[in-house]
Structure 1
């Protein structure tokens, strides 16, 4: 993290905090919306309504999983900031450029290592990437 100055770290922390708050609000909204769809799914005498409600619940579950995964990534990033490993690639230990960190706040790898990781791990494309 030596390549990041205090101002950059402060800016990244602020961005992380903002995104964390946004995700928590999205999750809160998703839970509230899900309750309404559950009511429709359990009461719906019409198969079309029930099918739509079930599809909506499936999509909400995927969105919730994505948001929770990102919240965990933000929490892990905060730990890396505290232990001064944030901004250092977990694979090659080179500095991750500030611009990349601004674009992908939770980046653990430099771009070349992230590309290599995604080629080796098909599931890696499910989360945030380059």
Structure 2
């Protein structure tokens, strides 16, 4: 928590519009980030893996685990614990969109893709807006 607050404080002091891209958890998520006082500080997009197993491979008896994570965490707008694929992030001067693409399978060279979620945030004078479904 202390490191997170220092990051948020630095972003606020510099006037940064904080957009975080991350991965290596092998799950997908979209977060609207708030500091300890509840002020909006930025957004975060997490990308799943293409082939490595994620949390959903190990916790299979909780079918709504992603929904439970989102309900229990105020900053989590969406969380998906299973599936494989990639995230297409589009940056413009005024907006950032993320589209979460899943592949139908990882063991066969023939596969299809499907968009499973999409989010948008816009630039403001103070930073970025909260995420909304795109």
- The bucket for the TM-score relative to the shorter chain is under 0.3
Structure number with greater Rg is 1
TM-score (norm 2): 0.26
TM-score (norm 1): 0.26
Higher strand share: 2
